[in-house]
Every structure is written in structure tokens, then in C-alpha cells.
Amino acid sequence: MDSVEVDAYLRRLGVEHPAWPTVDVLRELQLRHLQTVPFENLSIHLGEEIVLEEKRLLDKVVGARRGGFCYELNGSFGALLGALGFDVTLLAARVYGQEERLGIPYDHMALQVGTVDGGAWLADVGFGAHSHYPLALEARGEQVDPAGVFRVVEAGPDAAGVRGAQETAEAADLDVVMDGRPQYRLDRRPRALGDFVAGAWWHSTSPLSHFTQSLVCSRVTEEGGRITLSGRTFKTTAADGSREERELGSDEEVLRVYRERFGIEVDRVPTVSKADRGG
């Protein structure tokens, strides 16, 4: 990632080039990313290829001013942070689903980030509704965030799975908990971008993936709330938790909301096909 690409990315986020890779800079970058780059799965329903290569991610997020899901958003954000001097490690996670069952391996990508003023931080701009600011990875108490109260805790003994006892002891898995409910389980072993290709393929093709079964486009607002377009349902959640929603009528109205509220230009309204729904 060269200096021209870095500058273009920072302009996309609306921030100045930082002098040092500090935790305060990381906090600003994560929040601005959540506010300006939507969490969205439109490519799946528009027939667009999802490629986990740095240039392709930057072409989409910066060049085309689109969003993406976790692999794309955290993949591109991690590249930016690395270019700015942060110490970045890609981490794999399994997401908790119904009845607190864990999803597939490489279900989610998150970032471990080191700063010049110390500490290891969990940065995540690709989980949808999650923390607005990075979480301290080594802290075990409550971490209060505008999105809720978070905790990072060591996973239970079942976390070992097929891993050996010595390997597990060296880097225990961590559960990320939001408002008392576990969100995902982090594996602390370093990963490469290519490791997540199978997970991205599964989520973009399998009828069992919620990404193939529904449409979503969502971002944090400047007031601390969230706006979300799910199909034709436009939802506004204020910072105090109050919600409003309305159904959009024409295709023109849907495209206008994508353009004016999310900064996304698409030439047609994406729809979930019957094949995606398993029909």
C-alpha cells in the first residue's frame, strides 16, 4: 500500500494523516471507518466477485467507495493501519449463533493492533453492530463503549477442540462479550489474508449463510446511532436505542437511500434470489 493509496483511504474516512500510530489515532480511525464505510453484502446479490487480495479490496472500499463484510472491511482497514505504522495481526474468529453455538472456522476476521503507546487492541470494523472503539485485548473487566458494555474473557476448556494442550496454553482463545452475550471466539494465532478465502466463499455461496439469505447495508451515524437498509426496510436507531423504520416503495427510492445515506452507487436494486434462500 503506497502513500497515494494511504492518502486516498484517509480522504475516504475524512481524517488527516496521523503523525504517530497511537491508541487515540486508532480510536478515531475505527470510529470514522464505521461512520463512512458501510457494512454491506450487496456484492453477493449483485453477482460481483469477492476477492481477498489487498489491491482488489482497496479498489472496492476506496476506489469504488463501497463497503463490504468482515473479510473485506477488516482486510482493507488492516492494510491501512499497517501502512500507518501500527503493528497489525489478522485473527480468525468463530461467531456465536443460535443457542450460543459456534459457527464455522474462519467465520469472521478481526484485527489485533499494537500502538506506540503500548497495549494490544481488538479493532473490528466488520461485525455490523459492535463496539465503536477498539477494545483492550488484555483487560478482563467491563469496557464501556457507546454501543454497549463489552468484556474480553478467556474461553472455556472446550475452546481447545482439536488443538493440542501446549498450543492452547500458549495462546488461549478469547470470547468477546457484548451486554452479557458472547459475540465471537477469537483464536490468537496470527493469520494471513488468504487464510480467509474459504470462509468468504462459504458465506457468499452457502444457503446456510445468513449473508446469502438476506440483504444488509448499515453504518454508524455521526450522532452515535445506526442506520440500516435491509432489503426495502430502512431502519434508524438513535443513540438512546429508540427505533424507527419505514418501507421503501420504488426502486428509485431504494437507490436514492443507498446513494444519499450510505454513499453507495449501484445501477440496480440488489435482490435475494430464491436459489439463495434455498427455494
pLDDT digits (tens), the chain, 279 positions = 999 999 999 999 999 999 999 999 999 999 999 999 999 999 999 999 999 999 999 999 999 999 999 999 999 999 999 999 999 999 999 999 887 899 999 999 999 999 999 899 999 999 988 999 999 999 999 999 999 999 999 997 654 444 444 444 456 899 999 999 999 999 999 999 999 999 999 999 999 999 999 999 999 999 999 999 999 999 999 999 899 999 999 999 999 999 999 999 999 999 997 555 544
CA 36 to centroid of chain Cα atoms: 13
Within 10 Å of residue 197's Cβ, how many Cβ atoms? 15
In this prediction, residue 166 carries a pLDDT of: 42
In this prediction, residue 229 carries a pLDDT of: 97
CA–CA distance, 162 with 143 (Å, rounded to integer): 31
In this prediction, residue 164 carries a pLDDT of: 45
State how far the alpha carbon of 122 is from the alpha carbons of 89, 130, 207, in Å.
Answer: 10, 12, 30
In this prediction, residue 158 carries a pLDDT of: 55
In this prediction, residue 98 carries a pLDDT of: 82
- One-letter identity of residue 170: E
Give domain limits for the chain: 3-199, 210-262
In this prediction, residue 156 carries a pLDDT of: 76
State how far the alpha carbon of 159 is from the alpha carbons of 39, 112, 188, in Å.
Answer: 28, 19, 12
Find the radius of gyration of the CA atoms of the chain.
18
CA 216 to centroid of chain Cα atoms: 13
Tell me the sheet residues that pair with 209: none
For residue 184, which of 194, 195, 175, 173 has the smallest C-alpha distance?
175
Tell me, which fold does domain 3-199 have in CATH? Arylamine N-acetyltransferase fold (3.30.2140)
pTM score, whole prediction: 0.92
In this prediction, residue 162 carries a pLDDT of: 41
Within 10 Å of residue 200's Cβ, how many Cβ atoms? 21
Q: What is the SS3 string spanning 220-253?
A: ECCCCCEEEEECCEEEEECCCCCEEEEECCCHHH
Tell me the sheet residues that pair with 40: 217
In this prediction, residue 171 carries a pLDDT of: 67
